[in-house]
């Protein structure tokens, strides 16, 4: 459920009309519902209330400080994949013992910062990374809590770009090698083995891949415990999908029932890294129609948002809903919704039946709260959009629109050029 609903013909975010926000901040802009963020977090945590667990929201999905603070206030920790994300987590007062550090390319300065921050554990993704963390921890006189990210070779049945748990993926250590690497880690003086980690992909809409992965991981956990490893945590990653078009992903309750049953008796604290399911349908991208262009082969609705603002359709060919901010027009058309970027790949929708938009109309690109602004760029020297949060009847600008001066910050023209 989300809190974007029509009142009459006008689209509202909670108690505020989207058209009024557009008049205040201009277009395009990202818009998030505080009530939806809160509801998603509470639905997830309540589903697992019967077992020890930690929710570590995946910062990469949407890293705005106001979004992060909303989750921290509700008891969330964080899954981070960079030093910059650690910095953001610290800015919002996240308990470091609720932070896990994933990612295949952790640098020594990033590892050092995480150790100094006293995070819960590193999800280690290669044997050389084990050695590096041990070396850095030794230099600092610290013990690093670690889990190995185990690749169970399970097909998550999702887009190849967001499939992470198969042999071909760059992520994790193959399950056939994991036991040997755990034994190596146990012999390293500055590491403390405390967990097992597994993340098989994103936007999963079936329970079976999760269950299949846990069956394999369960055997490993039991073997490790038999060998004397004090495995306290089982990190099952994220990946639960959302509805973009007609998908019917499991509810948090259904997901929890399957996970709790599959992990019964392991005597571990479960860690989850939800991202998309927390923020995806809590946000939209609002834009204005600049031109409607009728061509011989197809029609184009040209808007002031583009692939630099929302990369997913161009990057993945993914579906994003296109809705009118004012739905009084009943006529329909088939068109591509495109932006001003000088690329044929600059589209938000292709060959889509949509309302017959007119110049000056406002559109809402739905399900844009995840991997929207975080993947935005300044391509074509376009300032990035503002981000706005609505809480009840309050309109809160949580990131200002960039200016042209922001575009050239840090650049210089050396003397003699």
Q: Residues annotated as binding site?
A: 239, 273-276, 312, 316, 343, 371
Q: Which run of H or E residues covers position 338?
A: strand 332-338
Helix (H, G, I), strand (E, B) or coil at 323: strand
The residue annotated as part of the active site, out of 13, 94, 198, 342, is 342
Residues 86 and 105: their CA atoms lie apart, in Å, by 15
Burial class of residue 319, CB neighbours in 10 A (0-12, 13-18, 19+)? middle
Other residues' Cβ atoms within 10 Å of the Cβ of residue 406: 13
Burial class of residue 68, CB neighbours in 10 A (0-12, 13-18, 19+)? buried
Q: Which two tokens stand for residue 89?
A: 């987590």
Phi, psi of 51 (to 5 degrees): -130, 155
DSSP string of 115-172?
A: HHHT-SEEEE-SHHHHHHHHHHHHHHT--EEEEEEEE------S-GGGB-SSTTSSSS
Q: Residue 280 carries which DSSP code?
A: G
Burial class of residue 19, CB neighbours in 10 A (0-12, 13-18, 19+)? middle
Residues 86 and 99: their CA atoms lie apart, in Å, by 9
Tokens 């939209």 sit on residue: 284
Q: Where does 228-368 have alpha helices with state H?
A: 252-262, 276-279, 312-316
User: Do 28 and 304 touch, CB atoms closer than 8 A?
Assistant: yes
Q: Residues annotated as binding site for pyridoxal 5'-phosphate?
A: 239, 273-276, 371
Whether 342 is catalytic: yes
Sequence-ordered list of residues with C-beta below 8 angstroms from that of 216, at least 6 positions apart, any chain: 152, 153, 154, 175
Q: Which residues are part of the catalytic machinery?
A: 342
């Amino acid at each position: 459920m989300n809190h974007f609903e029509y009142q009459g013909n006008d689209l509202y975010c909670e108690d505020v009309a989207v058209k009024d926000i557009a008049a205040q901040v201009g277009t395009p802009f990202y818009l998030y519902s505080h009530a939806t963020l809160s509801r998603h977090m509470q639905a997830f945590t309540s589903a697992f209330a019967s077992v020890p667990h930690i929710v570590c929201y995946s910062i990469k999905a949407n890293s705005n400080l106001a979004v992060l603070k909303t989750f921290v206030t509700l008891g969330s920790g964080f899954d981070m994949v960079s030093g910059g994300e650690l910095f953001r987590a610290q800015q919002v007062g996240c308990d470091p013992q609720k932070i896990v550090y994933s990612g295949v390319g952790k640098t020594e300065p990033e590892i050092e910062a995480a150790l100094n921050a006293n995070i819960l554990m590193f999800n280690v993704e290669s044997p050389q990374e084990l050695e590096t963390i041990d070396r850095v921890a030794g230099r600092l006189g610290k013990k690093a809590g670690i889990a190995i990210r185990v690749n169970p070779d399970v097909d998550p049945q999702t887009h190849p770009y967001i499939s992470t748990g198969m042999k071909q993926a760059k992520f994790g250590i193959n399950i056939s090698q994991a036991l040997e690497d755990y034994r190596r880690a146990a012999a390293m003086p500055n590491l403390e083995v405390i967990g097992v980690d597994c993340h098989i992909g994103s936007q999963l809409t079936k329970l079976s891949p999760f269950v299949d992965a846990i069956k394999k991981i369960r055997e490993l956990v039991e073997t490790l415990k038999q060998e004397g490893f004090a495995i306290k945590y089982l990190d099952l990653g994220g990946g639960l999908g959302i509805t973009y078009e007609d998908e019917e992903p499991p509810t948090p309750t259904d997901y929890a029932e399957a996970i709790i049953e599959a992990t019964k008796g392991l005597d571990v604290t479960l860690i989850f890294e939800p991202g998309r399911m927390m923020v995806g349908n809590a946000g939209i991208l609002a834009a204005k129609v600049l031109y409607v262009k009728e061509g011989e082969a197809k029609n184009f609705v040209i808007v002031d948002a583009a692939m630099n603002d929302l990369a997913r359709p161009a990057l993945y060919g993914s579906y994003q809903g296109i809705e009118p901010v004012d739905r009084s027009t009943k006529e329909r058309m088939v068109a591509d919704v495109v932006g001003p970027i000088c690329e044929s790949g600059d589209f938000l929708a292709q060959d889509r039946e949509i309302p017959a938009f007119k110049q000056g109309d406002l559109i809402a690109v739905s399900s844009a709260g995840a991997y929207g602004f975080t993947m935005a760029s300044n391509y074509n020297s376009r300032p990035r959009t503002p981000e706005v949060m609505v809480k009840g009847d309050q309109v809160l600008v949580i990131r200002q629109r960039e200016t042209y001066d922001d575009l050239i910050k840090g650049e210089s023209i050396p003397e003699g050029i």
